[in-house]
A and B are shown apart, each in its own frame.
Chain A
């Protein structure tokens, strides 16, 4: 076991391993690219839906069921299915990753919107604010912390799952996991897994820091 860890240590730190098109630096960049594009696309789809459902109060049933449907959808199956239907491209990977991220963002956005105090909304309307003003100037800012939670959750899941790109012959850190599996090279598999976990945690911390920096002026002392 000790030997395994020391091998892993030298795998992760050797300069040779970091360089070149198969190197960690390049694979890391690919992995980040897949993850960020997928999360961004998911956010563009999911945020308006979550805001609309939360604002109008209609379609909550849809939001809740969508989220449990999304969780139930087996990612491996989805990737293979889209792959067989559309052929060799990144499409299957992006479809699966976006499908994974959308429910988390929709449900958290919706939850954030419904958690906004009804009295606050009434007050805003009483002051003569229009529907879109209430939405963008009152509800949205108050719902932001939970919306950010949804985005962070989605990003973590996407980063962890983007490993699957390698299964359909693309890059990213999953390359090490799947190549290592095929070559029975445990060190390589573990190296890939550790890197994925590390960037997931780092990205989460970055988003958490961003969130804190943006909303420093607001303190929710007691709910």
Chain B
């Protein structure tokens, strides 16, 4: 199995387009996933009976094969980018919801009580005390969700989208390994770079966690 380098250089601009489209789908899904799971996590954290229900529901969604989720959406959203993004978003929910709830759980009760004793309103406590303290755990979830989404985009190749995943079906149908290898390597690189960037973001957002080592 050899790589034909000429094919890669001949298709450089196609590869760039696919990479951008790939990244776009994954990042949109994570952003949407966060938008949905943050309020849900707060609800699950505050209202105990709903917690098991919400977490259980997201676990069940996770067991549906990704290809099936995309297909399931076809009657609603058709062969569009929307189908890809919605399908991926569903997958991010499990990780994002669980981590956000765990992050909120881990906020010490004393901190919460101190905020209340100082007369801080509940919403303000949530936004300025609890969420920032939960941020490391939430960010761990965001990192997992991002890497997972980047890897999963390729499944959408079966419904005509899939970014770099198109290289896999292309290589499979033509019995030509070069596009497949290129697709795998580019996907891994994207995931690696995105993950490193998120680590940097977390470093900037949580200055208090750095002082511990000093």
Contact = CB atoms under 8 A, between A and B. Distances in A.
B155 to A, nearest CB: 6
A205 B64 CA distance: 16
Interface stretch (B7-15, B27-35, B167-175): B167-175
B78 to A, nearest CB: 13
B177 A68 contact: no
B187 A77 contact: yes
A114 interface: no
Nearest to B184: A77
Nearest to A69: B188
User: Of residues A74, A80, A177, A189, which shows the largest number of chain B Cβ atoms within 10 Å of its Cβ?
Assistant: A74
A4 B183 CA distance: 36
**Secondary structure call for the A interface:** helix
A193 to B, nearest CB: 3
B60 interface: yes
B55 interface: no
Interface residues of A, number: 36
Interface stretch (A46-54, A119-127, A155-163, A214-222): A155-163
Contacts, number: 120
A160 B184 contact: no
A71 B148 contact: yes
B168 A76 contact: yes
Interface string A57-69: 0000000000011
Interface string B128-161: 0000000000000001100110111011011000
A74 B63 contact: no
Interface string A162-179: 010000000000100100
Given A74-B151, A80-B171, A192 B68 contact: yes
Given A72-B195, A160-B63, A163-B67, 14 more contacts: A4-B75, A72-B150, A72-B151, A72-B191, A74-B154, A76-B168, A80-B169, A80-B171, A160-B66, A177-B67, A180-B71, A181-B158, A196-B64, A197-B65
Interface of A: 1, 4, 68-69, 71-78, 80-81, 83-85, 156, 159-161, 163, 174, 177, 180-181, 186, 189-190, 192-193, 196-197, 200-201, 204
- 5 tightest A-B CB contacts, nearest first: A193-B68, A72-B191, A200-B63, A77-B184, A74-B154
17 contacts: A68-B143, A72-B151, A72-B187, A73-B184, A73-B188, A74-B168, A78-B184, A80-B168, A80-B180, A81-B180, A84-B177, A85-B1, A85-B177, A156-B62, A161-B65, A174-B67, A200-B63
